[in-house]
Amino acid sequence: MAMRSTLIAALMVSVSSCATINTTGNAPTPSQTPPSPSAETVANPLPGGMQLVEAFTPAEGEIGIPYKKYVLPNGLTVVIHEDKSDPLVHADVTYHVGSGREEMGKSGFAHFFEHMMFQGSENVADEEHFKIISEAGGTLNGSTNSDRTNYYETIPSNQLEKVLWLEADRMGFFLDAVTEEKFENQRETVKNERGQNYDNRPYGLVSERVGEALYPEGHPYSWTTIGYIEDLNRANLTDLKKFFSRWYGPNNATLTLGGDLNTEETLEWVAKYFGSIPRGPEVEAPEFIPVTLEADRYISMEDKVALPLLYMSIPTVYARHPDEAPLDVLMSIMGEGRTSILYKNLVKDGLAVAANAGHGCRELHCAFTLTALPNPASGTTLTDLDRILRESIAEFETRGVEDDDLERVKAGIVSGMIYGLESVSGKVSQLAFYETFTGSPNYTSKDIERYSNVTKEDVMRVYHQYIKDKPAVIMSVVPNGQPETIAAPDTWSMYERTIPESEDTTDFEPRYAKDDFDRSIQPKAADFNPMVKLPEIWKSSMENGVNILGAVNTETPTTALQLRIEVGDRQQTLENMGIASLTASMLGEATEFSTNEELSNRLAKLGSSISVGSDKRYTSITVHALTENLDETLAIVKERLLHPKFDEADFKRLKEQTLQGIEQRKTQPSAIASGVFSLLTFGHDNPSAHPEIGTTQTVNNITLEDVKKFYADHYTAGSASIIAVSNLEEQVLENKLSIFSEWSGYPNPAPKLHPFPELETGTLYLIDKEGAAQSEIRIGKRALPYDATGEYYRARIMNFMLGGAFNSRINLNLREDKGYTYGARSGFSGSDIGGIFSARAGVRTDATADSIVQFVNEIKNYAENGIKEEELAFTKSAIGQSDALEYETPFDKLSFLSEVETYGLPDGFTETQSQILENITKEEIDALAKKHLQIDDMIMVIMGDKAVIEDDLKALGYPIVELDTDGLPVPPPQRPKLD
């Protein structure tokens, strides 16, 4: 308990170190008095008339994010955090607009703008935003939710001015560059995104249906962020321009910058590029409107799912309401982790394969949710789940709140805050979030305080006030053709939406900036090259054969490590596929000394996480801990690793969950298409070519004794290694890791592989997915095994412009030009024993055949004609400068160490890669393309609605073989016998 008190105190004391210039934290508006200039501003006038309104510097030993906050005369809020630990900068522009600002009949506009604002602006050409940032070695994206939209980039520190120029151009010079063609193209892209993430995904429409039932008509949370297709179809370009003019002004935005920057220089650039953008209409904070239900609302839907789902949602408060924190504690008690009531009542006894609780909070409203998936093996129905969920809610009243409940939640909040400080993007995101929704970036201590002050009485009070006997929306999702299995008959049905009559949307005037410089000139990178800081690796080994690779990271008081054992799918046989995964899962259950619930409780109170999983080659135990709790965390790791109980009840439950996971996987088109492609390329005879989860037949045949033997045979110290990144010095961490010194055992023998099959090249394999909203495409072949500095590495460079980047030929064709997909890529991936080349996408059903044509044309053209000189220059710049982003966080460094350990890479291999990249020529790229991209050497796997796409596929002229979801031939239909 002392640890958490210390951390909470450290975070809370940061308030006293905050030099608050303007305590309101709000940008000045005509209805407010502008903040008084600080002494610093008076003594040293800031560029563009901006004012310093708030500053925070943590005292030595405190945990907090130092920053300075400024406001420009046009209302733009600027938050700057200097962090010299890595040669990169993260930039975030958050607009306080999401789907919650939309109007009836105009849903999806905010999300649509997230797409549109990557389509160029007055001084940035089409598709140039991604190209410019990628060429600069950076990454970028955007996101939209119900309450805000943000655009963000992480770039080498010498590229900051370029990012500010780009973001300012789309804030102030966007509308005149929007064309009808761009509008229509992105409308199709959004439709593809909805198809991929909602309509074609199991349970993908749950949030939409529950929102419709939970909120009254017209409430902006009654529709999802992506909106209704019919609203997007009805929208016109002028509607979108008006929405932009209303919400995307500088006075409704926060620019947050963090990393290796110079504040004075940065402010000059901010004033130059953003200062002349006129402020937009004034924006009031959205008003919370209580949501109530008069009675339970039962709703249901049939879906392409293997397992039914029961989803219960109860309206509560809103984000940062005084009762949000105690409701979160109640949520944790009810259904978070293995100490929860739902786990005890549903999952532990095998009545459900999963059950949890949530308390999703947004600016206008929160909802308390309970979710459960029944275990068919138990015979549990959705009606049973409905009853048990209600009984579990009632049980809380008898159980009450325990000291551990409060301690777990508070520890999770504190550790989560600290882990968020491990990356500059995490720190910038936190500052931007708090500024947008609270008016001050320095809300961390208040967040900690409101959870640390929650009492048992508070939790009981909110239970009675918001949850006990309160009406809910209860949704049943059942497999197609099983409507009789819903929890209860529907008592509510979707209303016919009232769409307001279209208004004249031409009554707005675009805002134009006036400058004394030429914005069409793209800023150059600064005159320095960021010095990439590779982690310094130290190596050690234990007497029992466990190798250790470590790196010191002093930026946060945390440790990330992975204990890896060379045992995975390769050690399986065709008869016991899935045993590696099952065995790893058993290490996450009870031990000889502790129940699983006791271990989970200990971990949660430490703020630590331990996960166990297996893949093709390794079983890994991954640990994330506050370093001061590392000893206790490692003791739990040791207990799980060396003293598993292998309890029969745990095994039965995990086996049933695995079998249901196999059935669930059959409803996921992307996973099936990729799985069948793997089987065709590496062969049904190789266990590692099959899904790691196994098959129904093989998992059914695995016994607990099989698992015990697999563990005894393969979980040996001689096959293990540890990679670790910590703020501890080498010797100190070595001493802590010696806790595993009593572990023993010899290395596992190398597994035997069956020969890979001859590919039936030129063949199109079709998997039928009746009613699929999209088709999944995989085109490719076997290719090179992993080699960090050989032909494999060079082939990945070669592929970058074909399908490795957003602005690659394949993605620009299928997504940006044709509007067929949400995203299309190609690439080489490899291991020590083999590799593949694949081109892949999920595409509109009606565009399946032409998407294949486009893929083939792009691959053939690249193989025949090679790369263009300007593409090669772009590739070198993009890959070369991205090194600055590769090693920032502890887990980034852990990934680097994993690569070194897995393949025994020599010191200096990254320098060799840099030399290869710098010296590679067009001729070499062209030769690699010609060698590895022969389309006649490839196969095609298509999963989609056969009834809709088959005729178009036949017209392509390829031999077609129909397969089932296990990659086995489907026998042709038998002809009826004639009398």
List the one residue out of 463, 487, 466, 467 whose CA is nearest residue 297. Answer: 487
CB 646 within 8 A of CB 708: yes
**312 plus 461 within the same structural domain:** yes
Give the per-residue pLDDT at 21: 41
Residue 517 lies in a domain: no
User: 597-612: b or e for each residue (b if 16 or more CB lie within 10 Å)?
Assistant: bebbbbbbbbbbbbeb
pLDDT at 22 over 80: no
With 80 as the cut, is the pLDDT of residue 530 above it? no
Q: For the purposes of burial, counting CB atoms within 10 Å of the CB of 891, is it exposed (0-12), middle (13-18) or buried (19 or more)?
A: middle
Q: Evaluate whether residue 504 is within a structural domain.
A: no
Does residue 774 share a domain with residue 725? Answer: no
Q: What is the mean pLDDT of residues 355-367?
A: 96
pLDDT band at 43 (very low <50, low <70, confident <90, very high): low
pLDDT of residue 913: 94
Residues 234 and 363 in one domain: no
- The model's pLDDT over 60-74, given as tens digits with 9 standing for 90+, comes to 766 679 999 999 999
Taking residues 701-721, report their average pLDDT: 97
Instruction: Provide the β-strand partners of residue 194.
Output: none
Q: What are phi and psi of 193, to 5 degrees?
A: -65, -40
Look at 18 and 295; give whichever has higher pLDDT: 295
Q: What is the DSSP string of 293-324?
A: -SS-EEEEEEES-SS-EEEEEEE---TT-TTH
Least confident of 93-102, 339-348, 587-596, 660-669: 660-669
Residue 10 confidence (pLDDT) above 60: no
Instruction: Give the pLDDT band (50/70/90) at residue 19.
Output: very low
Number of H helices, E strands in the chain: 33, 25
Q: What is the pLDDT of residue 421?
A: 86
Q: Residues of the chain with pLDDT > 90: what percent?
A: 76
Report yes or no on 6 lying in a domain.
no
Q: What is the mean pLDDT of residues 498-515?
A: 72
Same domain membership, residue 179 and residue 120: yes
3-state helix/strand/coil string of 652-675: HHHHHHHHHHHHHHCCCHHHHHHH
- Of the residues 421, 450, 485, the one at which a domain ends: 485
DSSP 348: T
What pLDDT does 504 receive?
Answer: 58
Based on the domain organization, do 824 and 956 belong to the same domain? Answer: yes
pLDDT at 310 over 90: yes
Taking 60 as the threshold, does the pLDDT of residue 230 lie above it?
Answer: yes
| 485, 504, 525 - which closes a domain | 485
Contact 699, 657 (CB under 8 A): no
pLDDT of residue 401: 95
CA distance 801 to 803: 6
Could you give phi then psi for residue 372, rounded to 5 degrees?
A: -150, 145
Q: Is residue 978, in this structure, part of any structural domain at all?
A: no
Mean pLDDT (whole number) for 269-287: 94
The token pair that represents 266 in the structure block: 């940065």
- 773 with 640, same domain: the answer is no
Least confident of 15-24, 665-674, 858-867: 15-24
Domain shared by 839 and 901, yes or no? yes
Q: With 60 as the cut, is the pLDDT of residue 439 above it?
A: yes
Q: What is the mean pLDDT of residues 549-559?
A: 93
Buried b (16+ CB within 10 A) or exposed e, 22-56: beebbbbeeeeeebebbeebeeeebebebbbbbbb
Q: What is the pLDDT of residue 128?
A: 87
| CA 888/CA 425 separation, integer angstroms | 10
Is the per-residue pLDDT at 882 higher than 60? yes
658/652 Cα distance (integer angstroms): 10
Answer yes or no: is 918 within a domain: yes
Q: Which pLDDT score is estimated for 413? A: 86
Are 148 and 269 within one domain?
yes
- Neighbouring CB atoms inside 10 A of 82's CB total 16
When pLDDT is cut at 50, 70 and 90, the band that residue 976 belongs to is low
* Domain match, 648 and 549 both: yes
Interval 44-49 mean pLDDT? 89
Q: Taking 50 as the threshold, does the pLDDT of residue 857 lie above it?
A: yes
The pLDDT of residue 12 is above 70: no
Same-domain check for residues 818 and 733: no
How does pLDDT run across 738-791, given as a tens digit for each residue?
999 999 999 999 888 899 999 999 999 999 999 888 999 999 999 999 999 999
Residue 14 within a domain: no
Q: State the chain's mean pLDDT as an integer.
A: 90
Identify the pLDDT of residue 536. 87
**What is residue 9's predicted lDDT score, i.e. its pLDDT?**
32
When divided into structural domains, the chain yields a total of 4
Given a contact cutoff of 8 angstroms between Cβ atoms, the answer to whether 563 and 624 are in contact is: no
799 close to 828: Cβ distance less than 8 angstroms:
yes
**Is residue 628 a part of any domain in this protein?**
yes
The maximal CA–CA distance of the chain, rounded, in angstroms, is 104
CATH code where residue 420 lies: 3.30.830.10
pTM (two decimals): 0.88
Q: Report yes or no: 812 and 738 within 8 Å, Cβ to Cβ.
A: no
CB 801 within 8 A of CB 978: no
Which region among 521-530, 543-552, 772-781 has the lowest average model confidence (pLDDT)?
A: 521-530
pLDDT of amino acid 267? 98
736 and 769 co-located in one domain: no
Q: What is the 3-state secondary structure (H, E, C) of 199-233?
A: HCCCCCCHHHHHHHHHCCCCCHHHCCCCCCHHHHH
Containing structural domain, residue 852: 764-963
Average pLDDT on 426-453 reads: 92
Q: What whole-number distance in Å separates Cα of residue 123 and Cα of residue 174?
A: 9
pLDDT digits (tens, 9 = 90+) for 143-199: 999 999 999 999 999 999 999 999 999 999 988 888 888 888 888 888 888 888 888
Q: 811 and 691, same structural domain? A: no
Cβ neighbours around 114 below 10 Å, total: 20
Determine, yes or no, domain membership for 342.
Answer: no
